[in-house]
Structure 1
Amino acid sequence: MSEFTIPLSRIMVLERTLEHGGNATCKLQRPETSLDAQVYVENDSTTHHIKVTMGPLTSSLSLPRRLATKCQSLRYFLQDLANGRADSGAMSEEALALLEAQDSVDEVLLVGQIAYVINTVNHALPFGAVITNDQGEVCAAVTASSKQQLAAALRAKLKPGHEGPGERT
């Protein structure tokens, strides 16, 4: 048996609904049948709050508005729910912590910088971030024990006039 997938036309509807909020019906298809997911999106200044109903199943998801892969994340979430992978459809605490850390780091970036936030293997400093510029040069790299410390360490390294590794005068 093949898996439920979302056609491209429905992905575009999901993307518009994410940006503007409201309700959308998303048809998930596989050759032998289809399934309708009712998607409700409520936005605030930083987060998309999403509620999904598929038949008797109801689930929810929150995604940062600034997340570049938010539409893809919603697509995978819906497909996982439809295909019975509800556990993988729910974000782990670790994944949520990374998303929150990414949001904190994004707030301290300068124009033209890109942040890559990861988990480290160091339990004392579980968060890591590397900041690059538009040319892919490393501007800063730090590890920290919390999202707040990560953002503060990056803010100190990225303040205007301060040069970090990879920056040129």
Structure 2
Amino acid sequence: MSEFRISLRQIMLLQRTLDNGGTATCKLQRPEATVDAQIEIENDSTHHSIKVTLGPLCSSLKLPRALSTKCQSLRDFVQDIANGRADSAAQTEEALALMEAQVSVEEVLQTGQTAYVIATVNRQLPLGAVVTDDQGDVCAAVTGATKEQLAAAVRAKLRLSPDGIGKFA
């Protein structure tokens, strides 16, 4: 049995709904079945408040508006619900922590730099970030206990590089 997936066309629908708010019906497909997810999005100046209903399942998610990966996060969230991986509080809290850390780290980057924020296996330093430049070269690799600590570590690492900001020290 394969998993439910959201097509590119439906991902574009999710992106428009995220941008404008409102409601949408998103089709998820696998070879033997198709299901519809009802999505309601309310936007304020800083966050998207999202409610997803899929048959008897209903779940919600809050995403920062500034998050560059918000559409992918919403896609993953809807697919997880459809595939029976919904409402694990630990997963949702971890996912939100990672998204918030991503936003914090992106605030300290310069043009042409990209941050990849991940969860680590270290309980004292549960967040990790790798920053690359346009060529894919690593500029910084750090860990932190909080989103603020992670962003500060990235900022410090980028400023400590021997040839100026942008190369890994």
TM-score normalised by length of structure 2 = 0.77
Number of the residue aligned with 1:166? 167
* Mapping for residues 94-133 of structure 1, pairs under 5 Å: 94-133=94-133
Letter in 2 for 1:10: Q
What per-residue deviation string (whole Å, max 9, x for no partner) do you get for residues 117-142 of structure 1?
22333333222222222122222232
* Mapping for residues 120-159 of structure 1, pairs under 5 Å: 120-159=120-159
Say whether residues 1:42 and 2:78 are aligned partners: no
What per-residue deviation string (whole Å, max 9, x for no partner) do you get for residues 56-115 of structure 1?
321111233344443233223223323333246984322222222111111111111111
8 Å Cα contact 1:40/1:52 also seen in 2:
yes
Provide the C-alpha distance between the structure 1 equivalents of 2:14 and 2:70, rounded to a whole number of angstroms.
10
Number of the residue aligned with 2:21? 21
SS of equivalent to 1:96: helix
SS of equivalent to 1:86: coil
8 Å Cα contact 2:47/2:63 also seen in 1:
yes
**Does 158-167 or 46-55 show the bigger shift?**
158-167
8 Å Cα contact 1:80/1:89 also seen in 2:
no
Provide the C-alpha distance between the structure 1 equivalents of 2:126 and 2:22, rounded to a whole number of angstroms.
36
SS of equivalent to 1:154: helix
TM-score normalised by length of structure 1 = 0.77
Percent identity between the aligned chains?
Answer: 67
Q: How many residues align?
A: 168
Distance 1:89 1:165, change over 3 A: same
Unmatched segments (≥5 aa) in structure 2: none
Unmatched segments (≥5 aa) in structure 1: none
Number of the residue aligned with 1:63? 63
Letter in 1 for 2:101: A
Q: Kindly name which structure, 1 or 2, has the bigger radius of gyration based on alpha carbons.
A: 1
8 Å Cα contact 1:10/1:27 also seen in 2:
yes
Letter in 1 for 2:42: E
**Does 32-41 or 141-150 show the bigger shift?**
32-41
Provide the C-alpha distance between the structure 1 equivalents of 2:122 and 2:2, rounded to a whole number of angstroms.
40
**Does 88-97 or 137-146 show the bigger shift?**
88-97
- Aligned-residue Cα RMSD (Å) equals 3.2
**Does 152-161 or 53-62 show the bigger shift?**
152-161
8 Å Cα contact 1:113/1:133 also seen in 2:
yes
Provide the C-alpha distance between the structure 2 equivalents of 1:128 and 1:80, rounded to a whole number of angstroms.
24
8 Å Cα contact 2:157/2:168 also seen in 1:
no
